Amino acid sequence: MKHKIILIGLLILLTSPFFLNAQVTTQEATVKVSGEVITPLNLKMADLNQFTQVEVKRKDKDGNDHIYTGVLLSDILQKAGATLGKDLHGKNLNKFVQVEASDGYQVVFAIAELDKGFTDRLVILATQMDGKPLSTTEGPFHIVIQDEKKPARCVRMVTAIKVQFAK
Ligand SMILES: Nc1nc2c(c(=O)[nH]1)N[C@H]1C(S)=C(S)[C@@H](COP(=O)(O)O)O[C@H]1N2
Ligand SMILES: [Mo]
């Protein structure tokens, strides 16, 4: 009987909004890579730090230059086994890569926009600006596109990257 009461008490505690909330807020940020890939990934900061680090310079809206450091989106997609390089031809060119943020913002890139064989333009998932981690409104993960005139596809607070076939 005593055990039952303790068990029920524990169950109530674990499922209470307070406890669940506390769990959510302490959870480490990740970027989920899914869809048309061989190996879906769930990348943490430590995982991204293992990739080759690339720098992209971009002006902010006030015209000031910043150096962003991070990982090429193509390297992340390659690691997940998306069809890039020699595999990016024919029907695979009908794929797009959707990037999603924690505020619900979403943008897409055609897969060829991210492939080294099609373009030299760097698109990175940045983890640092000017050598420092990104703020909570920008990061911890931020898409930064070299030389794209408008900043609208530079998604802040990235949570997911999904490869899909266009219909
Ligand atoms: N997560 C997220 N990223 C976003 C947006 C957004 O609403 N949410 N807005 C985009 C748009 S429309 C613009 S113009 C730029 C603005 O970037 P800034 O606030 O760093 O200047 O962020 C882009 N990235
Ligand atoms: Mo914008």
pLDDT classification of 61: cutoffs 50, 70, 90: confident
Ligand 1 nearest atom to the CA of residue 102, by list position: 1
Which whole-number Å values give the CA distances from 162 to 36, 85, 112, 119, in the listed order? 8, 18, 14, 20
Best substitution site from 155, 157, 158, 161 to test ligand 1's pocket, by max atoms within 8 Å of Cβ?
155
pLDDT classification of 151: cutoffs 50, 70, 90: very high
pLDDT tens per residue, range 90-112: 999 999 999 999 999 999 999 99
Residue nearest to atom 19 of ligand 1 (CA): 61
State the distance from the centre of ligand 1 to the C-alpha of 152, rounded, in angstroms. 5
Q: Does the pLDDT value for residue 64 go beyond 90?
A: yes
Q: Does the pLDDT value for residue 21 go beyond 70?
A: no
Task: Please give the pLDDT value at position 16.
Answer: 61
pLDDT classification of 27: cutoffs 50, 70, 90: confident
Q: Does the pLDDT value for residue 4 go beyond 80?
A: no
State the distance from the centre of ligand 2 to the C-alpha of 152, rounded, in angstroms. 5
pLDDT, average across residues 70-76: 98
All domains in the chain, ordered by first residue: 27-165 (3.90.420.10)
Q: Does the pLDDT value for residue 5 go beyond 80?
A: no
Task: Please give the pLDDT value at position 133.
Answer: 97
State the distance from the centre of ligand 1 to the C-alpha of 70, rounded, in angstroms. 18
Q: Does the pLDDT value for residue 18 go beyond 70?
A: no
Contact 45, 29 (CB under 8 A): yes
Identify residue 17 by its one-letter amino acid code. P
**Cα–Cα distance for residue pair 77/59, rounded to 1 Å:** 26
DSSP calls for 58-98? EE-TTS-EEEEEEEEHHHHHHHHT-S-GGG-SGGGGGEEEE
